[in-house]
């Protein structure tokens, strides 16, 4: 049994303009110690999926249907006390903007110690020691000194480390990282990713990493789910994703990565933008932007299938793409190719 199994999750937001289906039929599993990436544009439903894991969806949002099984227990059926004992203790979350994720009126150390004391029966003194240990663990120099610092006295990278320390303070089995490095510069980003990698290795912590940066995925993840407009469009291992992408959206994301020295004047893009989630296009929701789309794409909603056309549920099989090209309903082929250039060392 996997550590986490999400099955057919659907989350709606009831707004004044109508019902927004932010997450629609998402299924995936994460094993112990696995590093699972969730990739997609802004508004693809990545963060909502993550918040659903801890049932942190607030009004006007509602988890409509589906199951989230953590170690076999359905999180959506737990009562308030049970879910609170899971939050922070077994599933912890690292937020995107560390600066606002820390409370300005308490010292960094107090906030980490609070997380410890919420779940462990520690004395004040022991919680303090534990917090200092965690600060040290995430690579903050002089942790005992820094314990009494307020968040505004930390630099951006250190704030992010502090947020990670807070998330790790209760030895969670699953760490949900919502774009943990987006607000940071590349050197700090590399350090944070390295840190996450170490943690997954040393403590067998599973990581669900949400990002729109494929470079981060390549760096850290074992397997990946690509999301578009609230739905999964491709499941792959990280190697498959980069060397053999199957869904046109994934291909579009990859071809729009800028490359130093490629000599191209214009950045490749996927034309258009994410559709308004109040009303999705008929058929495949990606078809208005897809360069390989045919008439049939606006008529038939593609199922998730593996490259041979066999249906895939995202739970047992973890290789698939939802594109009609693999079910022979499309006439043409997907006319892209992936080439690997030899590394140029001079």
List residues near another protein by CB under 8 A: 54, 56, 59, 84-89, 92-93, 95-97, 100-105, 107, 114-115, 118-119, 148-150, 153, 163, 166-167, 170
How far apart are CB 337 and another protein at their closest, in Å?
A: 30
How far apart are CB 29 and another protein at their closest, in Å?
A: 22
Which of residues 29 and 107 has its CB atom nearest to another protein in the complex? 107
Residues 151/159, Cβ–Cβ less than 8 Å:
yes
Which of residues 183 and 321 has its CB atom nearest to another protein in the complex? 183
Q: Is 293 left (phi over 0), alpha (psi -120 to 50) or beta?
A: beta
How far apart are CB 7 and another protein at their closest, in Å?
A: 22
Per-residue 3-state assignment (H helix, E strand, C coil) for 16-74: CCEEEEEEEEEEEEECCCCEEEEECCCCCCHHHHHHHHCCCCCCCEEEEEEEEEECCEE
Cα 220–chain centre separation: 12
Q: How far apart are CA 235 and CA 305, in angstroms?
A: 10
Residues 6+ apart with CB under 8 A from 273: 289
73-74: strand order across its sheet = 18-30, 4-15, 61-70, 73-74
Which of residues 95 and 235 has its CB atom nearest to another protein in the complex? 95
Which of residues 166 and 277 has its CB atom nearest to another protein in the complex? 166
How far apart are CB 118 and another protein at their closest, in Å?
A: 5
How far apart are CB 319 and another protein at their closest, in Å?
A: 32
Which of residues 92 and 214 has its CB atom nearest to another protein in the complex? 92
How far apart are CB 31 and another protein at their closest, in Å?
A: 22
Burial of 19 (0-12, 13-18, 19+ CB in 10 A): middle
Residues 234/225, Cβ–Cβ less than 8 Å:
yes
Which of residues 339 and 345 has its CB atom nearest to another protein in the complex? 345
Helix or strand or coil: residue 234?
strand
How far apart are CB 315 and another protein at their closest, in Å?
A: 25
Which of residues 108 and 195 has its CB atom nearest to another protein in the complex? 108
Angle between helices 124-137 and 108-119 (to 10 degrees): 120
């Amino acid at each position: 049994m996997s550590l986490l199994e999400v099955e057919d999750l659907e989350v709606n937001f009831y707004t004044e303009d109508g019902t927004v289906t932010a997450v629609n039929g998402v299924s995936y599993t994460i094993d112990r110690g696995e590093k699972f990436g969730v990739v997609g544009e802004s508004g693809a439903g990545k963060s909502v999926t993550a918040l659903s894991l801890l049932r942190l969806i607030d009004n006007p949002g509602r988890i409509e249907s589906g199951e989230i099984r953590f170690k076999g227990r359905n999180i959506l059926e737990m009562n308030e006390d049970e879910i609170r004992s899971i939050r922070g203790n077994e599933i912890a979350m690292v937020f995107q903007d560390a600066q606002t994720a820390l409370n300005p009126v308490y010292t960094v150390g107090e906030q980490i110690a609070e997380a410890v004391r919420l779940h462990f029966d520690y004395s004040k003194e022991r919680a303090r020691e534990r917090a200092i240990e965690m600060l040290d663990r995430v690579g903050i120099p002089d942790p005992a000194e820094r314990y009494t610092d307020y968040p505004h006295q930390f630099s951006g990278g250190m704030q992010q480390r502090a947020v990670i320390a807070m998330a790790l303070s209760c030895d969670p089995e699953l760490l949900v990282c919502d774009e943990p490095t987006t607000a940071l510069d590349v050197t700090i980003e590399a350090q944070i990713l390295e840190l996450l990698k170490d943690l997954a290795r040393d403590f067998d912590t599973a990581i669900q990493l949400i990002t729109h940066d494929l470079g981060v995925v390549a760096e850290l993840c074992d397997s990946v789910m690509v999301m578009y407009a609230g739905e999964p469009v491709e499941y792959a291992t990280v190697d498959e994703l980069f060397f053999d992408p199957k869904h046109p959206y994934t291909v579009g994301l990859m071809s729009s990565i800028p490359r130093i020295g490629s000599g191209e004047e214009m950045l490749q893009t996927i034309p258009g933008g994410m559709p308004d989630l109040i009303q999705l296009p008929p058929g495949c929701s990606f078809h208005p932007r897809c360069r390989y789309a045919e008439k049939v794409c606006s008529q038939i909603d593609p199922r998730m299938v593996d490259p041979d056309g066999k249906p895939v549920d995202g739970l047992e099989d973890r290789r698939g793409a939802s594109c009609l090209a693999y079910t022979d309903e499309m006439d043409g082929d997907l006319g892209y190719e992936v080439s690997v250039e030899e590394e140029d060392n001079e």
